[in-house]
A and B are shown apart, each in its own frame.
Chain A
């Protein structure tokens, strides 16, 4: 029983690790994914912040926008990642998993874990950007942990939607 759990852990890690290695070989994807939040915050955000009608209960507009951009960019990154897993099925790569002794959940959870890592790297970019733009971000450890948990869970969940 214990060894079965250890095997499951190793197989899940194998799937996640392989995907994270891919990201390390080709980090361009991270950069291209960052284009969208940059556009929103720097271009649209700045412009729309000038419009008086958009002020939200006295909160600075960019402060209000940053949280939404975080959620949106993480969501999109996760969904696109999930779709790429389907392309993998069209190639033979997924057959490898299916004929191996790894249980099916190991494949799905492994993909979810690596999606979380991607999501978190997106979040880091959005945080840095917000900091650079002087957006009011809370750096309390508890708040940070909450945001990280939200990002990790959200990415994992949305990335496995297309897979399942």
Chain B
């Protein structure tokens, strides 16, 4: 049960979610609904105002160091360093997570192969395409084999082909490692494609939670996820964020693509 206030505004209000081992849980909601605050608290970047949560059995407030060892995080902003090669980016992650020296090289090679980046491992990341970047970032955050992976809008700003390839690799990871994944997204296709269950967040609370089919069935026959979204939040999916957010999402792929 988690709560976070900013001044008098309650960003996340007594939210409680239980993700099952090895499932992909999607979280959708209109901008400003509180998903970002929630993900920051769960990844120990922001302390909750009250309440707490357990990740892989460790408390995010009392044992943040243990939690950090067991999570992977793919932020919405670009987290791979453009002036390093893909291999060097992975090496940095391997060292930060203190993976033993003998294992580093094989693990990095394996990660590059799994993510389809083996041929470009020695290239500077500046020259990667958007889809390659995202796959590298996922590889970075999975290198220490965390049981839980957080992804914040993993396919924002990608073209359909790149998005398909990211989805494909995410599904492969899930099948191979049984990683529990929590994904925030604004794309309904992404939810339909990837997620076992969806939590719909509105006004800092969970408006509804269930499998995509369950949610659709609750709204009516032949309802789409868009209908579910509109029904539960009372908003049409149209409000794509503030000026600053738009500037950020558009600037980051261009500056480094």
Contact surface of A with B, Cβ cutoff 8 Å: 7, 10-11, 13-15, 17-18, 21-22, 25-26, 91-93, 95-102
Interface size on B, residues (CB 8 A): 29
Instruction: Output the residue of A13, A17, A21, A100 with the most chain B CB within 10 A.
Output: A100
Q: Is the CB of A18 within 8 A of B75?
A: no
Chain B neighbourhood of A18, CB < 8 A: 81, 84, 88, 92
| Minimal Cβ-Cβ distance residue in B for A107 | B96
B98 near A7 with CB under 8 A, answer yes
Extra inter-chain contacts (10) besides given A14-B91, A14-B95, A95-B45, CB under 8 Å: A11-B98, A14-B96, A25-B83, A25-B85, A91-B79, A91-B252, A92-B78, A96-B93, A97-B96, A101-B65
Given A25-B83, A98-B45, A92:B75 Cβ within 8 A: yes
Whether the Cβ atoms of B81 and A101 lie closer than 8 Å is no
Known: A91-B252, A102-B96. A96 touches B79 (CB 8 A): yes
Q: Mark B56-98, 1 if CB is under 8 A from A, else 0.
A: 0000000001001101010111111101110010011101111
Q: CB-CB < 8 A to B43: which residues of A?
A: 99
Contact A92 B77 (CB under 8 A): yes
- On whether the beta carbons of B96 and A11 are closer than 8 Å, the reply is yes
Interface of A is mostly: helix
* A26 CB, nearest partner CB in chain B, Å: 6
* Contact between B79 and A93, CB atoms less than 8 A apart: yes
Name the residue among B43, B71, B97 with the largest chain A CB count within 10 angstroms.
B97
Q: A11-B96, A99-B43, A100-B97 are in contact. Are A22 and B83 (CB under 8 A)?
A: yes
Q: Please tell me if the beta carbons of B75 and A101 are within 8 angstroms of each other in the complex.
A: no
Closest to A97 in B: B96
CA–CA, A21 to B85, complex, Å?
9
Alpha-carbon separation in the docked complex, A25 to B82 (Å): 11
Bound CA–CA A59/B128 (angstroms)? 56
Q: A22 to B124: give the CA distance in the assembly, Å.
A: 10
* Residue of B whose beta carbon sits closest to that of A89: B77
Q: Tell which of B81, B83, B84, B98 has the most Cβ of chain A within 10 Å.
A: B98
- A25-B124, A95-B75 known; A100 vs B81 contact (CB < 8 Å): no
Q: Report if B185 contacts A (CB, 8 A).
A: no
Which residues from A are CB-within-8-Å of B65?
Answer: 101
Is residue B140 within 8 Å, beta carbon to beta carbon, of the partner chain?
Answer: yes
Q: Are A21 and B140 in contact (CB under 8 A)?
A: no
The CA-CA distance from A14 to B65 in the complex, in Å, is 18
Interface residues of B in 33-63 (CB under 8 A from A): 43-45
Q: How far is the CA of A100 from the CA of B146 in the complex (A)?
A: 11
User: What are the 10 A-B residue pairs with the smallest beta carbon separation, nearest first?
Assistant: A92-B77, A14-B95, A92-B79, A22-B83, A100-B96, A92-B75, A99-B73, A95-B75, A101-B68, A18-B92
Interface centre among A25, A93, A97, by most chain B C-beta atoms within 10 angstroms, is A93
A157 to B: closest C-beta gap in Å: 24
Hey, which chain B residues are within 8 Å of A17, CB to CB? 92, 95
CA distance A14 to B96 in the complex (A): 7
Q: Which residue of A lies closest to B101 (CB)?
A: A10
Please state if A101 and B88 are interface contacts (CB–CB under 8 Å). no
Could you say which residues of chain B place their CB within 8 Å of the CB of A93?
A: 78-81
